[in-house]
Structure 1
Amino acid sequence: MDERKTDRRVGSERKASRFAPEEKGVDERRMLPQDPEGMGNVEAINRELEEEGLKPEDGKNAGDSRDTGDQGESRDRDETGGNEEKESGYTPAWKLVLITVLSIFLLIALLLGGGYFYINYNLSPPAARGTSPIAVTIPKGASSGEISQILYSKGLIRNAALFRYYIRYKGVGGDLKAGEYRFTPGMTVDELLDKMVKGEVYRETFSVTIPEGLTVPQIADLLSSEGVVNKERFLKEVNEGSFSYPFLKEIPPENLKQRKYRLEGYLFPETYTFNKGATEHEIIDRMLGQFQKVFTEEWKQELAKKGLNIDQGVILASIVEREAVLDEERPLIAGVFYNRLEERWKLQSCATVQFILGKQKDRITYKDLEIEDPYNTYLHVGLPPGPIGNPGKKSLEATVYPAKHDYFFFVTKNDGSQGHFFSKTFEEHKKNHAKSEGSW
């Protein structure tokens, strides 16, 4: 073997060992020697590389590689240091979650608030344009949408679509009744729906006053003359109509047989307003309902203390109604009849004879007093079998709360005052009668 070659190989091994990773001062990443004092002579290193058959890349030398390595290290350091800086400036994850959740809730709150305002506003009544009722006709079979459009066109609601959904929400779509209505400007949506659900359609009305003390036939004549009822149908309904009022059950069956009109005494006198076209049954039912409203449970109990039921109280009140003219005398006259009933005297009421005659006479004759009839209190003791008219509230109240006194007689003064003379004895009564006749 050639010594030079051997030396060169050995030298090569020796030189190569300078670049080994294990040797101190070698850059393990770049495999370049490092000069502990300044990286050494770059040109010398390049020459050694050439001798070994290794050329540095064009335009680059070992120094450049070192510089590149240094730049890489610097970049690594920059990246590492930069990340640390960025990490130290990051918002913690829990804060991001909190901000997101709060943002969502805020958005929901805004949407709900806006929705509530929108719904509340559009379901509120529009500004009223006047106070006159607005005529609205709801056709038969109209849908919720059609009804909404009709009300919207009349200026009664703000939003037809929302009103239609509100009808669905309330679940009353199938309960809205057709007909002609009168709605007042400013009515709420609930008031509009309530009126249509109840079917409170507009009807032309009329008013009629039933005076106190009229008999059933007289009431029939009055209503017939007003064009309200048919007289024959009215009288038939009085006797045959079905009415479920508890006070009617207290009428003794034996007394009913003697009464010409079953409901005499219970058609309460009042000023009534009826719908045009009201039936005879509806009108009678309204009067009976008013009687029940006026005749309280307290009155019933007070009569029971006196040994009378409602029917007997009504009979007595009907006599008081026909005998009295002045309201202040009603309790006095009721007291006279109570005294007579207690002593088992005949009531001797001219009003009962007038009822028998069926007409008002200015003067009752002795012959009239002798008419045989269960209602003739000049012939029969106690109360007649039924009322002789339909008493008003004041006569009913006077019968429930009569004046307490010792009078057994009374006679009209005939002085224009419409009052009466009251007396305790028959002798006093004769004197008062003479005063009434003006013969003393």
Structure 2
Amino acid sequence: MTGFDEQPVPAGDAAPRGERVRIAVIGLGAISQSVHLPLIRRNADLIELVAVVDLSDARAREIAEASGAGVAAFASIESLIDAVAAGAIRVDGAILATSGSHAADVARLVAAGIRVLAEKPLAFSLAEAEALREVAGDRGIDLAEWVRVGYMKEHDPASAAAKALLAEVEIRAVTVEVLHPADGAQLAFANLAAPPSDVPAETLAALIAATDATVATAIGDAADPLPKLYTNVVLGSIVHDIGLLRHLVGGIGTVDRARHTGPAFPGSLSLGGTLAERTDVPWSIDWHFIPRYPEYRETVTFHHEAGTIALTFAVPYVLNVPTVLTVVENAEPLGSRRSETRWMQEEAFEHELRSFAALAAGHPEPGPSVAEGVADIIVGQRMLRTLADSIGAPLGEASEAGAAGERRA
């Protein structure tokens, strides 16, 4: 049983062709304030913001008022869905930018006939994803046509160019390095709203308890700091690299080594193994939280038989800071050639938003959906299992991650 009313949702029930799609933004924290809301305004020819939702009623009302006439404010997803069911508002799609896991809310929204762009991670547990799939199955919904997971790097023109180049070479090794300063250093420019004070303590406590239960399903009674490394680092940050490697080279296969170091949480994670489709090719990810590092930097490097292809990503919260594609190749007879390409007027989040607008209108383009999100969770669980083994605190075999080494995405 899914707990939802099992009435079919028409697969073509979306915005009429030629009309702007009507979008709700759910969760009004840093990513919505700095990225999603500004880009919706910038793409007003395609998208109409009709609703905002936040646990803080005051924040929702403040942002609705600042967004212009006709934007409704809600303090819960349930109240938004009730308004849609009553015919008080039409919502074609929702950007789900709440913290933590998203699968249960995605299920509620698609059951109400609303297509969804969910920020990562899709879920903390495979059980949550399976429950979402059950809802879709009950209603005859193809989730690939209803849901996208927010992997904006897959929409980056630099990633598209790198993918085309990588298809033509024999890869020898893949390395990822992430230098992650404190969030405040990345968001000082954004003039974010002050943290809300009107969310009831019991509401927050219930959300924390639900998250703890979900994480326990995924990784069992894991020793500290494994639960927070799983939610905050592996599925909170490194999942972007898991997804990018899946998109570019078929994904991560084995996770053979993992090490956690650093003076304080979250510290540094060093991970490695072999690729899924090219099992003789090693990969490594070195992720470092350095609070006072001057700027966020993420470098993804592919060495191959004739040179190197590398992507350097800047802080994601600042729009239109281009990703740099670097190509190193032979320059006959005895030299080498190094080129750098930037797409100065292209924004990955904006491409993602436009693609979601097409999905919300019922005209889906290719993009990461639930199947890809589940594949990335499985890899994340393999990482945690290997990390737990490395500290002498193996995960229980009854947990999802305890069996992650045997699963295949």
Larger Rg: 1
TM norm structure 1: 0.21
Structure number with the higher helix fraction is: 1
Query: Relative contact order, CA 8 A, sep 6+: which one is greater?
Result: 2
TM norm structure 2: 0.22
